[in-house]
A = this chain, B = another copy of it.
């Protein structure tokens, strides 16, 4: 039983590494790092997201988030506008170019995943999807119970503070 979870942990770790910043994603896509891509994706999926929200979503300080948006802005993938309702907050949105880049990356990697899995039958593909959904949902739930409130540093807990 315990063995199963060790096993699953090791497999997730391995998979994460293979899809993480040091592997195929090392340079995620031309001029985007993995972090920048994740931010771009988040911005694309939310209308008028703020710097702070991006930071919280990706576990960066607002300082770090601001710099990531700088980079994305310099590359022409996002715009930064001052909110019309509150002069302190920035509304970040993707440009057409940013939108296109995000789609391109998804397309490329999906093709990669297709190459990976093309020999699997339809039922297996469905099953893979179902399992990944369980994992992602459980991980999100677990993340939420772990994370406290966010201060500048995004008061996230290390797993090592969990229960000692």
Chain A interfacial positions (CB closer than 8 Å to B) = 2, 4-27, 29-30, 35, 38, 58-60, 106-117, 120, 124-129, 131-136, 138-143, 146, 156, 158-160, 162
Contact = CB atoms under 8 A, between A and B. Distances in A.
A8 B159 contact: no
B18 A19 contact: no
Among A15, A106, A156, A162, find the residue whose CB has the most chain B CB atoms closer than 10 A: A15
A15 B159 contact: no
B106 A7 contact: no
Contacts of A160: 29-30, 108
Contacts of A162: 108, 111-112
A13 B109 contact: yes
A116 B138 contact: yes
B133 A117 contact: no
Contact of A141 (B8, B15, B116, B140): B116
Contacts of A127: 127, 131
A2 B113 CA distance: 10
